[in-house]
Structure 1
Amino acid sequence: MPARPPFTGPPGPDAAVFVISMAAELTGLHPQTLRTYERLGLITPQRTGGGGRRYSARDIERLREIADLTAAGVGLKGVRRIVELESQLAALSDLNDELRAELAAVREALGQAHAGRRREVPANKLPVLRETQAGSVVVWRRGR
């Protein structure tokens, strides 16, 4: 008898664990509706080696959102556009987080450089760091 792998806890939100009948039951949608949504590109379930669809918890949540939108009268073209915009928003939010972290690291490095070089470099040669009212930071090197 082969040894079982150790239990690592419940699957994550992207683990494809639900077959189409279970996904349909969890969302209150007909399996054919799920196939239609896939054909339209609204959802992309993972596939098994034999071609069977497997849905993740994240897929189930998206299907529920689509069902809510269509129940509210939004057409499938509108749903597609909303899904696209939500995807773009998530990507931009991730990029914004990365840029904020990079900015914080640059601010820290400039602050350390400024503190460590006070005696060696005249103040008029240090980079200038100024924050605007909009929260932007402007960094420039003074003329030589």
Structure 2
Amino acid sequence: MARMARLALLVAAVAFWSFSRQATAVEGNSSMTTERVQREAQDAVETTKESTVQRKEAFQRKIQEELDEMQAQIASLRAKTDQASAEARAKVQQMIADLEKKKEAARKRLEELKSAGASAWADLQRGMTAALEDLRRSYRKALSHLP
């Protein structure tokens, strides 16, 4: 998120510089040019904010879909344990319990992400991505223990 803030500041600075050059070239109309620079810089900042919000919402939807899919995969895994040997069944049931804990932790991270401000969003996004990858790895490991 810090990168987005820096980008917004850079866009605003470039816009200000560009328009301030125009303002010095146009005599007698400096108040109109200054207002225009301020308005366009504000527009650039607002556009950046809107873009960040849209990306955050899209990421949240994607994560929610992945968590829902993982819930279905865990249910399928649980159903497959009946076909496994007693030893494998016990091991996979323990892995399923671990998967449920990781899924719940990921769901809590998603809730944190939903309420996070712009500055914390990037850090939470990285943490959320790592948590989902860990959940996927654990699922594949549990699946590998079944016939």
- TM-score normalised according to structure 2 size: 0.38
Higher helix share: 2
> Normalised by the size of structure 1, how large is the TM-score?
0.39
| Structure with greater strand percent | 1
Q: Which has the higher contact order (CA 8 A, sep 6+)?
A: 2
